[in-house]
A and B are shown apart, each in its own frame.
Chain A
Amino acid sequence: MTGTYRVRRGDVAESRNAVHFTFDGKSYQGLAGDTLASALIANGVHLVGRSFKYHRPRGFVSAGSEEPNALVGVGATQSRYTPNLLATQVEIYDGLVAESQNRWPSLETDAGFLNEYFSAFLPAGFYYKTFMWPRTAWKKLYEPVIRRMAGLGKAPAEPDADRYTQVFAHCDVLIVGAGPAGLAAALEASNSDATVILCDEQAEMGGSLLSDRSASIDGMQAADWARAALDELRKRPNVKLMSRTTAFGWYPHNFVGLNERVTDHLSNPATNQPRERLWQVRAKEVVLAAGAIERPLVFTDNDRPGIMLAGAARTYVNRYGVVPGKQVVVFTACDSAYRAALDLKAAGARIQVIVDLRKSVSGYWVDKARAEGIKVRSDSIVRGTSGWLRVKSAQISNAQGGDAETVACDLILMSGGFTPSVHLFSQSRGKLSYSEELRAYVPGESVERERSVGACKGLFALESVIESGAKGGRDAAAKAGFPPHGERSYAVSAQSVGADAFIGSVMTDHQAEKRAWVDFQNDVTAKDVRLATREGFRSIEHVKRYTTTGMATDQGKLSNMNALGVVSKQIDVAVPKVGLTTFRPPYTPTTFGSFAGQSRGDLFDPVRKTSIHAWAEAQGARFEDVGVWKRAWYFPQVGEDMHAAVARECKATRESVGIFDASTLGKIEIVGKDAAEFMNRMYTNAWTKLEPGRLRYGVMLREDGFIMDDGVVGRMATDRFHVTTTTGGAARVLSMMEDYLQTEWPDLEVWLTSTTEQWSVIALQGPNARKVLEPLVDGIDLSADAMPHMSVREGRICGVPTRLFRVSFTGELGFEVNVPAGYGRAVWEAIFAAGKPYGITPYGTETMHVLRAEKGYIIVGQETDGTVTPDDAGLGWAVGKAKRDFVGKRSLSRPALVREDRKQLVGLLTTDPKVVLEEGAQIVLDPTHPIPVPMIGHITSSYWSATLNRSIALALVRGGRSRMGEELSIPMPDGVIKAKVVDSILFDPKGERLNA
């Protein structure tokens, strides 16, 4: 038994396999090729969801991606569960598990429908009006309740078990939509050497042709012609056919995003198949053949299960072989519904009456309906319906009012004409123009290399649809540089359904409009939309946001034009003047998985590791992220917490020797005849007189005068500098250098090369650093006289070439050993072994931070925040006063940058030495000052200093250097902390240790 509503599909006798699935825990049987919607309808099921706000029972409105109501959750397990899928698009397979959403305890008896009785209190904008008072009730009462009621599906509770991939593709012609226009376009465009991609969101290509039993093309029934055309296209090597593939977004320069659903329709997908592929297609030319979407009519109680679009019913009967109802009332403003009624009648349904809004009706389809004995009532409306879980009757009256006749039915078909799907065209920034005849927007002037064909252009007669598709296909191929080899003709035999249409509400009685739905999914009625205009909203963009019409997951595919119609009539302004809401990607909801692709878990972000990383890992180091680098943070020994480990590492370095991996420092080799001149211009310091073999601490500003980066620079030769940058700033610095070099001073002979990854840098710091290194070094005299602080020598260490820096970021005697990165680990281990007699101790970034803070050395990005000048940071000494110019120099004399009350870097010592301040805490003069308390600065660095056996801090304080000895206040949630302003150098202010 495959359902009591099953009828023979088309004229073909066929056998379709039975497919078993469950919906809300109940087992059903469908046939291969069914969607969840057609299979449920075959079983007489129309109630599939509850509306968002009032929890009204809802059924299928459509048969496609425009469906507003039939949202379901699909998936037998949480790791493969997807909420908010459209039952009209979900293909059934054996074992499919689907459930309805937004109901409790069950779909038939949902408690949320109580909202229905309070609907008078839930008008448009009720969020803004109702929950403003009392303020305290928001968090405790309103928000939790709203959160429980709100939302549609449930997010899955487990990580997605599926795999998603991404593909880049190029083609000459991309055709979106494989209905009659798209197929004709593909046949023509591929009759050339152009590469063609034809995509369609549905499982089977052919679009409206698959639902058409009356038209014929080239002597074949429409659906057969579509299949023959596809067979022909499949044989052409220059054509790629992509079904189940939605062109969801247009991005500039003919870049179109396609989402291909690879396995969702399969019972047992192969394990090597991704669930979805995101195609990023760059097409030379695009043909948009996206079709059109039928519009609902807005009348009272137009949302009951069993009320659907006429074209959808036609699709269910002709394409899927299910009849959505047996007693049918048709309500229409155009001829196409007559065609649908006749198809349903042929399938055995009884057409009670066709109610037509138009004053007088005539033509082929009307005559045919009358000839088949169908009652036609013109100038009339359906002004109400009855039935709770399924429609039971329609109330029909004259369009102007008067007595109503009640007609029993289990299905009401509606049609207000068709809205061209201009989404991609509009996303491509094409200009839309309003067609008074179609009551819809149609494509106007193109901006990108695309053309719209067929129904999405506002053409509805099959003959002109195919003709425009064929022309568009030929045009696209020719414009892409591949003129087609010929033209073919299409013998189309079809009766036109005209292009009559209606927008807005059909109701004359405004009181009755409170249940005349405009937007089904978001529960917006014609009354809500009129209320918005009464409250002063004029632009459709504002009406949309106030009422939420068009803001549901269907993005107003069915509702936008009707909302426009209601507003236009209410404020008596022509539709184009009311405006149009923006079409934004994606066309239909697209999974996060598709966009994330492989970028999840370990592959989410690239990770950079130094050549010494594995050694640190083996030692049990904890790591921290610095940009995308992993840096050893501290090296805990058994039983140590971070505090204990850092205290030990600091003590060992100050007392004997510590070893630190500084390889992540940015490094740039600056070479050329004009290298020194270039350095002069880029850095605040003077470089001309720096001798080869010497180092200098360099400060780089942005042109606005604020510190951008710093680092130690070695002059290797008159024409060669070894520049170091901060770990995070390396790319930024190189880019800025390139900018000036290429665009401002192209006359300078200088070459810049990033060498960050070429050098491993091993810092050896502490009073015993020299003793450890000396035996390992060849050709370099390490003695204090031969190699003073801030010098660099080239030679060998452990037989490996080195640039050996004598430099210190700790305040101790120190060296930084640069060796080619491939030797980094080996040299590190050799130094570590040589240091054993001295108790050599590896330390991480936390200890490095403490040691440098004790010395008042800044870290760019910690002491600076893009508003700190060299003088603010106490680096005025590094600015070459005699230099005529350097990047940022002119800004340093701007009035705001020379004010005396600028924030300046100072040290802060808490009155209670045990209290460690919080970095980022604000500093005030008088904590008893009424709020807002004027803030005079903030803490930039704060640590426990094992060396000084007390807490230390650095801070930026207004006029800080003139406040030495002053006591300041740092108000915290649990009390005010007092601290004294001191010099920023807290340890060895004379630098005796460093020069040892």
Chain B
Amino acid sequence: MLLINCPYCGPRPEAEFANGGQAHIARPADPMSLTDDEWAAYLYMRDNTKGLHHERWRHANGCGRFFNASRDTTTDVIKRTYRMGERPEAEHQGAKP
């Protein structure tokens, strides 16, 4: 069971959280202006990272807040958790604007 550091509550066991998929995928501001392919890419295409991966978590059985975590998918080590709206650390490659 992962130990996840909620930026609002502190470290808590994984059972309190729900994973929210890859982070830093912003909903397009004007979806109707997108082509079908662009919209399909937003809907369905996700990275399958081996290594450092930025993902969303919700402290569902706690404060209820969403936040981001940078987790190494090969070791499950969570390098950092940070609030929504904050950027992943610069040296972390693979983060999308």
Contact = CB atoms under 8 A, between A and B. Distances in A.
B85 interface: yes
Contacts of B1: 251-253, 255, 280
Interface string B4-29: 00000000010000101000001100
B40 interface: yes
A271 interface: no
- In the complex, which of the residues A253, A254, A255, A429 has the most CB atoms of chain B within 10 Å of its own CB atom? A253
Given A735-B18, A739-B66, A746-B85, 10 more contacts: A251-B1, A252-B2, A280-B1, A282-B3, A429-B75, A703-B43, A885-B31, A889-B32, A894-B36, A895-B36
Contact of A742 (B26, B60, B66, B77): B66
Given A253-B76, A738-B58, A885-B32, A744 B66 contact: no
B39 A743 contact: no
Interface of B: 1-3, 13, 18, 20, 26-27, 30-32, 34, 36, 39-40, 43, 56, 58, 60, 64-66, 74-78, 84-85
A748 interface: no
B82 to A, nearest CB: 13
Interface string A603-617: 000000000000000
Nearest to A889: B31
Nearest to B31: A890
Nearest to A168: B13
A447 B58 contact: no
Interface string A435-453: 0000000000001000000
Contact of A890 (B20, B32, B58): B32
Contacts of A891: 39, 43
Contact of B3 (A253, A739, A740, A889): A253
A678 to B, nearest CB: 14
18 contacts: A253-B76, A254-B3, A282-B3, A429-B74, A429-B75, A429-B76, A703-B43, A704-B43, A735-B58, A739-B66, A740-B27, A742-B65, A742-B84, A744-B26, A885-B30, A890-B39, A891-B43, A895-B36
A252 B32 contact: no
Nearest to B78: A253
Nearest to B3: A253
A704 B3 CA distance: 32
Interface string A89-113: 0000000000000000000000000
A738 B60 CA distance: 10
B66 A884 contact: no
Contacts of A738: 58, 64, 66
A743 B24 CA distance: 10
A694 B43 CA distance: 34
B60 to A, nearest CB: 7
A937 B24 CA distance: 39
A474 to B, nearest CB: 24
A159 B77 CA distance: 41
B32 A746 contact: no
A743 B84 CA distance: 6
- In the complex, which of the residues A429, A703, A704, A890 has the most CB atoms of chain B within 10 Å of its own CB atom? A890
10 closest residue pairs by CB, A with B = A890-B31, A253-B3, A252-B76, A742-B66, A447-B75, A255-B1, A744-B27, A252-B2, A890-B39, A743-B66
B14 to A, nearest CB: 8
Interface in A41-89: none
Contacts of B74: 429
A46 to B, nearest CB: 43
Contacts, number: 62
- Chain A contact patch, size range: 20 to 34
Interface in A896-954: none
Interface string A238-268: 0000000000000111110000000000000
Nearest to B33: A890
A677 to B, nearest CB: 15
A740 B31 CA distance: 15
A254 B43 CA distance: 36
B15 to A, nearest CB: 10
Interface string A719-737: 0000000000000000100
Contacts of A251: 1
A671 to B, nearest CB: 16
Contacts of A255: 1, 3, 13
Contacts of B2: 252-253
Nearest to A884: B32
Contacts of B64: 738
A255 to B, nearest CB: 5
A890 B34 contact: yes
B63 to A, nearest CB: 11
Given A447-B77, A735-B58, A894 B39 contact: yes
Interface in A848-899: 884-885, 889-891, 894-895
A253 B13 CA distance: 10
A884 B30 CA distance: 8
A160 to B, nearest CB: 25
Nearest to A740: B27
Contact of B84 (A447, A746, A890): A746
A390 B63 CA distance: 66
Contacts of A280: 1
B23 to A, nearest CB: 9
Contact of B20 (A704, A739, A885): A739
A820 B29 CA distance: 40
Contacts of B76: 252-253, 429
Contacts of A703: 27, 43
Contacts of B60: 735
A51 to B, nearest CB: 38
Contacts of B66: 738-739, 742-743
Nearest to B66: A742
Nearest to A280: B1
A755 to B, nearest CB: 15
Contacts of B30: 884-885
Contacts of B85: 746
Contacts of B32: 884-885, 889-890
A251 B40 CA distance: 36
A387 to B, nearest CB: 50
Contacts of B26: 744
A305 to B, nearest CB: 43
A885 B31 CA distance: 7
Nearest to B34: A890
Nearest to A885: B31
A889 B32 CA distance: 8
A254 B13 CA distance: 12
Contacts of A447: 75, 77
A704 to B, nearest CB: 6
A970 B15 CA distance: 45
A744 B77 CA distance: 27
Contacts of B13: 255, 282
A251 B27 CA distance: 35
A714 B64 CA distance: 25
Interface in A566-608: none
Contacts of A282: 3, 13
Contacts of B31: 885, 889-890
A282 to B, nearest CB: 7
A447 B20 CA distance: 25
Contacts of A885: 30-32
A280 B3 CA distance: 13
Nearest to A428: B75
A254 B56 CA distance: 22
Contacts of B84: 742-743, 746
A895 B35 CA distance: 11
Contacts of A739: 20, 58, 66
A704 B85 CA distance: 24
Contacts of A895: 36
A426 to B, nearest CB: 13
A289 B80 CA distance: 31
